[in-house]
Amino acid sequence: MDFCSQLCERLDKKSAVIGIVGLGYVGLPLMLRYSEIGYQAIGLDIDQSKIDALNSGESYIEHIPAEKVRNAVQSSFKAYSDFSKAKECDALILCVPTPLNKYREPDLSYVTNTIEALLPHMREGQLISLESTTYPGTTDEEIVSRLERQGFTVGKNIFVVYSPEREDPGNPNFETRTIPKVVGGVTQQCLSAGVRLYGQAIDQTVPVSSTRAAEMTKLLENIHRAVNIGLVNEMKIVADRMGIDIFEVIDAAATKPFGFTPYYPGPGLGGHCIPIDPFYLTWKAREYGLNTRFIELSGEVNRAMPEYVVSKLMDGLNHHKKSLYGSKVLVLGIAYKKNVDDMRESPSVEIMEILRRKGANVAYSDPHVPKFPKMREHNFDLTSIALTKESLTEFDAVIIATNHDKFNYEAIYEHSKLIIDSRGQFRGKNGKVIKA
């Protein structure tokens, strides 16, 4: 029996050991899913605090209950920072970040460093799946090439697929199991093994012809959102200048039963995917002599939104005969989307940075983020302020940056002096509310 057949048989019988590399918002739910359906799962991460928490049965992601982690630990799951454990795994799923560098170019260091750390411990018969969002060609250029230099023959004695993550933290309508999984293999044998791997844990797999097609699929999904959000953010500015409520317009347009999908404006793009992924394709397209003008224009519009929100704040303060310098401003919601604790690329934080640079006294309130976390590019020594009549009246203005359901919007409206609403939470309210 060849390596592919042996691997597929072990996957079918659930005797295969599944290794998840990178235990964040993507890797941890995936690990829990494989553990839940009866596989032995091994977690690998360079963050020792995550390792210690998981092995103690604790969760560090708000929407993932600690009970699920404890169940996995009781079912033989264990997390390690020692990458030599990779040799025990039949499949290794890579869920590591792919950010942009300071020049807004792809930073693949997490992917390449992970592969280099795994290579000394890899063996024949294993399957490697990359889930990190990246430009077409990454799997071939960064993973396959390294494996071949190590003496492996991809498609014969080792197998490689690309299967982009599709997690949506905080979305109650979907979970890891119910989100269809796109899978592209380097060879047909690779694809067969990849479909067997994910077919056990995910309700529907979507095979495509190559890893490059799978990589492009993920980029198209997020570029579609980025471009449409850029469009509606631009429309917001036009509508505001004309005295029209853009949210009313979108809701009315959404009644059309065909040909229109509603996207809503906000203070900018957040999360690990939509603000970053389009620039992976923009960067790669230059290699082919192409300029991705739609993508770049939408990026310009979306990146300008935090400044736009602050400009609306300045207009409001000016109306109250106040300057931004020295004013006390409360930012409501610093996670990048409602009802989660995920801070990645949050436009709220960019707003806070602008306010600080302009001399405002900045504070925040977020029921999901009690203390401002350590971030690569931002540093605020702040804790979340409880929203009371007394605390709200202390501030010259509040900004609705992330519209969490846990906020008491009636109290916010009653006790705030000035509200800058970037999420359309106070539709139809006038006076102290300024749309942004």
Catalytic residues, by residue number, are 273
CA dihedral 153, 154, 157, 162 (to 10 degrees): 160
Extract the tokens encoding 406: 């846990």
How many CA atoms does the CB half-sphere of 232 hold within 13 Å?
26
170 Rama sector, left if φ>0, alpha if ψ -120 to 50, beta otherwise: left
Residues in a beta bridge with 435: 421
Number of Cβ within 10 Å of residue 331's Cβ equals 27
Amino acid at the residue 165: E
- The per-residue DSSP string of 371-424 comes to BPPP-SS-----BPPP--HHHHHT-SEEEE-S--TTS-HHHHHHH-S-EEESS-
Of the candidates 392, 397, 230, the one whose C-alpha atom is nearest the C-alpha of residue 322 is: 397
- Compute the distance between CA of residue 182 and CA of residue 179 in angstroms, rounded to an integer: 10
